[in-house]
Amino acid sequence: MERVQVLLTHEQVLRLRELARRQGTSVSALVREMIEEGLARWAETQKARRARLLRRIRAEREALQARYGPRLPTWQPEMLHRLREERLHDLMRP
């Protein structure tokens, strides 16, 4: 394990101490557990976000294929640019 220093408010420290006392564990163990749960939840959120974006990209592709056939015409660069901009915007959202 590695030691890290984190600044918490007085209220946060009191709440952590009380919760650790009730659970019969140390504040350090409790914080490690909470961090692990938070990281797992964050990873699941990111995975779900990527899945949503992929579904949207696939839907856009299917819509384009329905409109133009299996290959997007080369004379549509402005459409590609708009789709890329929208996708980039979506990817940059938290």
Give 36-56 pLDDT, tens digit per residue.
Answer: 999 999 999 999 999 999 999
Residue 4, in any domain of the structure: no
Range of the domain at 50: 10-92
pTM > 0.85: yes or no: no
Residue 1, in any domain of the structure: no
Interatomic CA distance for residues 23 and 68, integer angstroms? 62
- Specify the number of domains making up the chain: 1
Q: What percent of the chain is helix, strand and coil (3-state, nearest 5)? A: 75, 0, 25
pLDDT score of 9: 97
